[in-house]
Amino acid sequence: MATKQDQESRTILKKLSIFLVLFYSIYYILSIVLVGGFHVNWQQLGRFPFRINQFEFNPAAGGDALGAWLAMVLTFTCSLALTYLVVKATRKAWDYVVTTSLFHFVICCIVNQAFPVNWIWWLTLILCNVILSLAAEITNYYLVDMRDIQLDH
């Protein structure tokens, strides 16, 4: 259950900043593994999470394009644990996921100085967003909200 303190803007911003830092930490850790695994040039590591072009982000293309797609999918999959550890509220889980996706979209536009027109990138982002939102709400509901309440008699 949410407490009064959890509803304050300061608490929400603190949790969101922690969530974003951990989200991008996971993204870069997975990117390091995938850059090494797919033998991508190490100079591309900084931009690896922000690839939006068809030839840079396509699981069918293989190589580094597959690595960029896998990095996004695996990051959103690992972020399920973040919603449990950081958010700890069923009603707010989807808020943090959607805000993180919007933030990622804005950062991708800034880094690439272009609007993403790759349908694979959009489909992956939307599906990851929807699946993570639903899974985060279910996880927080069963592991946080439905846990046994201790009563002192």
Specify the pTM: 0.87
CA distance 75 to 79: 6
pLDDT above 90 coverage of the chain, percent: 65
Count of H-run helices and E-run strands, the chain = 4, 0
Please report, for the chain, the start and end positions of each structural domain, with discontinuous segments joined by +: 7-145
| Predicted confidence band of residue 113 (pLDDT cuts 50, 70, 90) | very high
Q: Which string of DSSP letters, residue by residue, matches 110-140?
A: HHHTS----HHHHHHHHHHHHHHHHHHHHHH
**Which has more pLDDT, 118 or 91?**
118
In the prediction, which pLDDT does 21 show? 96
**Res 4: pLDDT:** 55
